Amino acid sequence: MTQTQTIRVLIVDDHDMLRSGLALFIQTHPDLLLVGEASTGIEAIDACQRLQPDVVLMDLMMPQMDGVTAITYIRRQFPTIQVIALSSFVDEDLVTATLSAGAISYLLKNASIDGLANAIRNAYAGKATLAPEAAQALVNAAHRPPVPNYLLSKREQEVLVLMVKGLSNAEIAERLIIGLSTVKKHVSSIFTKFGVTSRAEAVALAMRHHLVSE
């Protein structure tokens, strides 16, 4: 990278204080340029379209659209944009789902200033950075025993495939030509069979155990 090049960064987090802190951090590095902020996954996708950042700092737990789903959309629509996931905690399923969705790096929000700056530079260069806890989570996930059969129906399997692709309930209903209430029932049934309570957890489990195929 030459001295005239700067890395365009987009911050995505639903907490104003954290976005402000990250913005101040970026401003202290002459090779980094803050091009925008977003507070939801939906806003992040729109911002990527308008601002064309090089690197996105993505929170994973947000209202309206979680970070894993947003990463899936962004990497599918804007493959040149790299995404660094920032999380307050490490969960084996979440780490696996985040990286499978296309994030190049997974860091904790307590990362050092220098560590985060270097992670942004690495992401811009196509190099991954993992918090030690995230790397350990991947090792733990790889050594877990085989998952039992969840006995999804054919329609539930179809719904799950589209969930993993990042489609909303309304989009799934349109794609499968079924009612929105029917989709919600299938999603609820999938949650029950998986023993999870959120879409992100269901997608994470499906991706980690390869329950869907392209």
Amino acid (1-letter code) at residue 159: V
pLDDT of 68-109, one tens digit each?
999 999 999 999 999 999 998 888 888 999 999 999 999 999
Write out pLDDT tens, residues 24-58. Answer: 999 999 999 999 999 999 999 999 999 999 999 99
Q: Which residue has the higher pLDDT, 62 or 208?
A: 62
* Secondary structure of 75-97 as H, E, C letters: HHHCCCCEEEEEECCCCHHHHHH
CATH of 154-208, one of 1.10.10.10, 3.40.640.10, 3.40.190.10, 3.40.50.720: 1.10.10.10
Q: Band of the pLDDT at 2, cuts 50, 70, 90?
A: very low
pLDDT of 1 strictly over 50: no
Confidence of residue 131 (pLDDT cuts 50, 70, 90): very high
Task: Give SS3 for 153.
Answer: coil
Domain chopping of the chain, boundaries? 7-142, 154-208
CA 26, 28, 32: angle at the middle one, nearest 5? 45
- Considering only the top CATH level, what class is 7-142? alpha beta
